[in-house]
Amino acid sequence: MHQDFSRTDRIGQQMQRELAVLVRDELKDPRLGMLTIQAVKVVRDLSHAKIYFTVMGEGCDREECTKLLKVASGFLRKMLGQRMKLRTIPQLNFVYDDSIEYGAHLSTLIEDAIKSNVNAPDKEEQ
C-alpha cells in the first residue's frame, strides 16, 4: 500500500513545529522580530534540512536574518536533538522565503489592473 506521507515529510513537519517553538521561546535576539518557519524540506538520508522562513515587521532584512539564524543553527540543532527522537539531526540551512511578498505584490498588481479597468470607459458604448 502507498503511504500518504513519506518519513522525510513527517520529520520535516515535526522539525517545523519544534523550530517554531524554539525560535519563539529560546532565541532571545530582538532583531529577528516576528520570524515564521514556513516549511522544512529534509533530504532522504537526513543529512541536511532546508528551512524556509519569513520575517514580518521591521526586525532585520533577509541577509541579516539569514546570518543570525546560521549562527544560531548549532544551538537550534542541539535543542532539536533533545526534543526529537532521531539518531542524527540534519544540518540546518536557512533560506528566506519570499513567496508571501511575491504573492502580495501580485495581489496589488491585480487590484490595480481591476481599478484601471473599471475607471476606463468602454469603447463599445461610444
Kindly state the average pLDDT of the residues 96-114.
Answer: 86
Q: 110 by DSSP, 3-state: which?
A: helix
Q: Give domain status of residue 26, yes or no.
A: yes
At 8-30, the pLDDT tens digits run: 888 899 999 999 999 888 888 77
Q: Give domain status of residue 27, yes or no.
A: yes
> Domain with 29 in it: what CATH number?
3.30.300.20
Domain range enclosing 53: 7-98
Q: Give domain status of residue 14, yes or no.
A: yes
pTM of the model: 0.77
Total of domains in the chain: 1
Q: Give domain status of residue 47, yes or no.
A: yes
* Dihedrals phi, psi of 97, to nearest 5 degrees: -100, 110
Q: Give domain status of residue 52, yes or no.
A: yes
